Amino acid sequence: MSERKYFGTDGIRGKVGDSPITPDFVLKLGWAAGKVLARHGSRKIIIGKDTRISGYMLESALEAGLAAAGLSASFTGPMPTPAVAYLTRTFRAEAGIVISASHNPYYDNGIKFFSIDGTKLPDEVEEAIEAEMEKPITCVESAELGRANRIVDAAGRYIEFCKGTFPNENNLNGLKVVVDCAHGATYHIAPNVFRELGAEVITIGCEPTGININEECGATDVRMLQKRVLEEGADVGLAFDGDGDRIIMVDHQGLKVDGDQILYIIAREALRQGQLRGGAVGTLMSNMGLEIALKQLGIPFVRAKVGDRYVLEKLQEKGWRLGAENSGHIILLDKTTTGDGIVAGLQVLSAMVRNHMSLHDLCSGMKLLPQILVNVRFTGSHDPLQTPEVQKVAKAVEEELAGKGRVLLRKSGTEPLIRVMVEGENEEQVTAMANRIADAVKHVG
């Protein structure tokens, strides 16, 4: 695969106003994408966004570029990323575009594409779009220009889709839930889904201003949700990130339930219902406690590289359906095509209702092992992980753990950091081990 200039693992992302997230670049991107996608047949593109203030500017620029290439844009307004994937499928659109930087602060934004199947665009299509970016913009004949319209009932359609993933014979009557929408794209969707299924819903993070998305709330910061669950005496708390593709939960005791625990609950429930096909996919960061708990149930488990696209690739390769990152991306391929926080949350609530168990008790079959992460900055062009000194210390630590823990050393993809992760049964011991390896990295770095 050739090296791409603009597309990263999750579309194009950056600070608004800095290249490439500028109006002129996005206009050109819209045109280039339009030129490539127009070759494929349908001339309709769905455009959704989260609640960032920059979304208005970027959707206008995209629409102008697409129109110049002869493609029409259908706007959904603020809509979770998985909703755009779903609407792209149901409208048989040529592609869907989401304007979002997910869990990042408001001053960042990004653009990602979905294919007609509601999955990420194939590499060759992304490469063709990049090739068009090098050419000067042209404009189709006036009669051929694209139009723009709004999908009036986008939210209602997606709410019905989410509810359709919850078992018909069950409801959420009598459950008190706190829903934190991170002032993001789920603010007008998630509370309605849970309410319409019968839950008593208390909302936080549902007043987007355009600049408060993900700010001390949502899946990346559950402290406010934990506090509110305890104050309200709620049964459960659900926190989404800015674009709704991640979920972190909180039990009635105010304890955080992460992506690993959510995957465990959903996998065990699928096994109980006789609906589990194959096993589950985690990542290199998934807690060893998940691996041990699934093994006890006889559920196969494999690890992919960190990143939801790698989890998805591994699921497709194995023909399995369940995958997750501990950060809360949960992929349920029997329900939808991409990580979906609301759909994942509904499956956990369904397990609570069906088994008459609290979220706390559903988690009890899995013990999270202490996992210590130390970030070490390094300078220079060499890779500290390749040095004999670091490898020797890491090997010694692995031998001491004797199969009852793990060592993971990896370079950050975005900054000059080495991430040192040690996991084991004893927190003091693994902290000391992580620091020992970190010191070795500092010494050579």
Q: Residue 98 and residue 111: Cα distance in Å, rounded?
A: 6
- If we measure between CA atoms, which residue out of 225, 189, 8 comes closest to residue 83? 189
74 is in an annotated binding site: no
Q: Residue 221 and residue 226: Cα distance in Å, rounded?
A: 10
Taken in order 164, 167, 168, 170, is the CA torsion positive or negative? negative
251 is in an annotated binding site: no
241 is in an annotated binding site: yes
Strand 247-251 relative to strand 236-240: parallel, antiparallel, unpaired?
Answer: antiparallel
245 is in an annotated binding site: yes
String of DSSP letters for 330-353: EEETTT-SS--HHHHHHHHHHHHH
19 is catalytic: no
Contact between 113 and 99 (Cβ < 8 Å): no
Residue 296's CB: how many other CB atoms inside 10 A? 10
Q: Residue 234 and residue 251: Cα distance in Å, rounded?
A: 9
**Tokens describing residue 21:** 């997230």
Coil, helix or strand at residue 237: strand
Burial class (CB in 10 A: 0-12, 13-18, 19+), 402: exposed
Q: Residue 410 and residue 5: Cα distance in Å, rounded?
A: 24
Give the list of residues 6+ apart from residue 17 with CB closer than 8 angstroms, or none.
none
Q: Residue 144 and residue 193: Cα distance in Å, rounded?
A: 40
Q: Residue 35 and residue 14: Cα distance in Å, rounded?
A: 24
**Catalytic residue (one of 54, 72, 102, 115):** 102
Cα 337 → chain centroid: 12
Binding-site residue ranges for Mg(2+): 102, 241, 243, 245
Binding-site residue ranges: 102, 241, 243, 245
Which residues are designated catalytic?
102
